[in-house]
Structures are given as structure tokens and as C-alpha cells.
Amino acid sequence: MGERTVIYPGSFDPLTNGHIDIIERGVKMFDKIIVTALKNPSKTYLFSLEERISIMKDIFSGRDNIEIDYFEGLLADYLIEKNVFTVLRGLRAISDFEIEFQMALMNRSINDKIETIFLVPSIAYSFLSSKLVKEIYKFGGEIKSMVPNTVDNKLKEKYSNS
Ligand code: PNS
């Protein structure tokens, strides 16, 4: 069997230590992980696609088995394009389960080859989300233990300008 690759899709708006935790667990199980950010023109992101990608490229620079990419449209189509049919997702709490279960089964009904693997992050990050991180920084708070330094700085920069 050839090289085992997994695709880890997400919004990554922005990358948190929870995502990094899942990526580091993923690389232990696979030869290569492609971290791919969704470009959804109908969604408003705090960080542009270029910013989300550059943060991740910066953090994983020099890691040959971690590739940073983006996709538009259906994840299932991106998987075909990459010829990789294993998807990695993090599962934090029961509340994640329902949507993740739906997505995994929908993706599989689009293409029967698609399998989704769930990894559980460290308990320290099990209540962490990009959405809550943004909210905390928006109102002048900070949670340095939950985000990489670059993200902490960029969040402060974003909200000091607004
Ligand atoms: O980090 P997120 O926001 O939880 O990631 C969600 C993501 C990007 C994995 C999901 O929304 C997605 O795959 N979107 C692409 C569009 C698509 O394929 N939708 C059907 C999924 S069943």
C-alpha cells in the first residue's frame, strides 16, 4: 500500500491550538496530512483566505508531511481532485456529533469512497472554538494558552483597528 494521506478540512478562522492538537495527532497516524481551508464567498470571515493560509503555512513551515491548501465548493469534489478519500475531523463534545455525523454521511452519499475519521483533542481544548476565541478578543480579552502567538497578535491587531 502506498503513502497514506488524510485531508483535514475546516474554516480555520483562525487556527487555534485545538486544530493544531488534531493535526499533530493526525500526522502520527498518517504519512501526510493536507490541511485545507474552505473558501466560501458567501461567508464573512474575520481572516481572509490568504491570512488563514499564511498563518498555517507559518506555523507548519518545515513540516514536509503537513501541506496547507484551500478548496472551494464541495469537499467531495476536492477529495476527487486530490484522489484522497479519507477526511479527518476533530470531535469535541456531543454537540459536535450531530453535524459531523450528518456531514460524514452526506459526503459518503455523494461518493461512497469517502470515509471520515474523528479524533478527540486534548481535554484542555475540548471546549475551544474559533468562534468563541474571536468573541473574547473582540471584547478586549485574550486567551494566549488557546491560540498560537501569531494568532494572538493578529487578533489583537484586528480588533484594535475596529
Ligand atoms: O471548521 P468548520 O467550519 O467546522 O468546517 C466545516 C467544513 C469546511 C468542513 C464544511 O463546511 C465543508 O466541508 N464545507 C464545504 C461544502 C460541502 O462540501 N458541504 C457539504 C458537506 S456534507
pLDDT tens-digit profile of 83-140?
A: 999 999 999 988 899 999 999 999 999 999 999 999 999 999 999 999 999 999 999 9
- In 3D, which of 48, 17, 53, 16 has the Cα closest to residue 35? 53
Q: Is the per-residue pLDDT at 161 higher than 90?
A: no
- In 3D, which of 11, 75, 18, 15 has the Cα closest to residue 43? 11
- The answer to whether residue 4 is catalytic is no
Q: How big is the chain by its Cα radius of gyration, in Å?
A: 16
Is ligand 1 within 6 A of the CB of residue 37?
Answer: no
- The answer to whether residue 19 is catalytic is yes
Estimate to the nearest angstrom the gap between the alpha carbon of 41 and the chain centroid. 18
Q: What is the pLDDT of residue 93?
A: 87
Q: What is the pLDDT of residue 94?
A: 85
Task: Report if pTM > 0.95.
Answer: yes
